[in-house]
Amino acid sequence: MPTARAPKHFNLSVNNGIAEISLTGADRKNPLTFDSYAELRDWFRDLVYEDDINAVVFGPNGGNFCSGGDVHDIIGPLVSMSMKELLNFTRMTGDLVKAMINCGKPVIAAIDGVCVGAGAIIAMASDLRIATPEAKTAFLFTRVGLAGCDMGACAILPRIIGQGRAAYLLYTGRSMSAKEGMDWGYFTAITPAEELQDTAMALATRITSGPNFGHMMTKTMLAQEWSMSIEQAIEAEAQAQAICMQTGDFERAYQAFVAKKKPKFEGN
């Protein structure tokens, strides 16, 4: 079994092409530690090579998503580190976001209760977000004396909810309610807590029943086109679509259309 399948510092199960993960430490609202940061980073990096996983549902544990960096495991040690050590840490946390963006698989965040600090960043770095009415999302960095520009927040959050709303949350560190998140386009759906996991899994199942190679290409283009001109983006999409047209899924879709049947995609 690959290392990616046997994590020590977060929960993982894989069924029918969907990986379900959550953080541990429910009694402390699932804080991140040095170890869980590194293991999640490595797991998402390896995910690009896992052909039998086509989507990820990152869910809550014990009624909360994540309380951010562990006060005792991370925050305390950071105040005594050298600049080089601090930079190694901040680069490592950013590498988790980069690994999520570049993993090639759609990631759905299922958010309940507390989702703050680095936990909010993990949700932000996911492709889709579903919440319960009790979900409270906050980018707390300025409230602990830091800048709001952590782990890509100033680059990614404005693209999701707009520059003004992102600035409001990042300057103040205030909590965004589930309703605000829905109104602002941060969440795609709000569902009761008892239905959260089922709703997220239903969405993941719907996605994985489609052309998974095509989904990988869509995720790649969504990330890469941030820094492209319109002309560059159109050319990149022309190349991406030509590649997808060489897959068996494209031919299977055509044959199913001719036969008036629903296509069955195989991801190749």
pLDDT band at 197 (very low <50, low <70, confident <90, very high): very high
CA angle at residue 69 from 134 to 62, to 5 degrees?
40
Distance of CA 178 to the CA centre of its chain: 17
pLDDT of residue 71: 82
Number of Cβ atoms within 10 Å of the Cβ of 160: 15
Contact 253, 247 (CB under 8 A): no
Tell me the helices (H) and strands (E) count for the chain, helix number first.
11, 9
E strand segments, 117-235: 128-131, 136-138, 176-177, 189-190
CATH of 3-208, one of 3.40.50.11540, 3.90.1150.10, 3.90.226.10, 3.40.50.2000: 3.90.226.10
Residue 22 vs residues 7, 32, 49: alpha-carbon distances, Å: 11, 11, 21
Residue-wise pLDDT for 112-161, tens only, equals 999 999 999 999 999 999 999 999 999 999 998 999 999 999 999 999 99
**Type of residue at 264:** K
Say how far apart CA 74 and CA 162 lie, in whole Å: 31
CA dihedral over 181, 182, 187, 193, signed as positive or negative: positive
pLDDT of residue 176: 98
Nearest Cα to Cα of residue 146 among 162, 123, 170, 114: 170
Contact 10, 39 (CB under 8 A): yes
Residue-wise pLDDT for 61-116, tens only, equals 999 999 999 888 888 899 899 999 999 999 999 999 999 999 999 999 999 999 99
Domain ranges of the chain: 3-208, 212-258
pLDDT of residue 3: 41
Taking each helix axis from N to C end, the angle separating 83-101 and 34-47, rounded to the nearest 10 degrees, works out to 40
E strand segments, the chain: 10-15, 18-23, 55-58, 107-111, 114-116, 128-131, 136-138, 176-177, 189-190
Residue-wise pLDDT for 172-191, tens only, equals 999 999 999 999 999 999 99
pLDDT of residue 4: 47
Encoded tokens for 69: 């960096």
pLDDT band at 2 (very low <50, low <70, confident <90, very high): very low
The mean pLDDT value of the chain amounts to 94
Encoded tokens for 51: 């052909």
Q: Which residue has the tokens 């960095």?
A: 141
Say how far apart CA 233 and CA 240 lie, in whole Å: 10
CA angle at residue 157 from 127 to 187, to 5 degrees?
50
Number of Cβ atoms within 10 Å of the Cβ of 92: 13
Contact 119, 139 (CB under 8 A): no
pLDDT of residue 5: 59
Residue-wise pLDDT for 45-63, tens only, equals 999 999 999 999 999 999 9
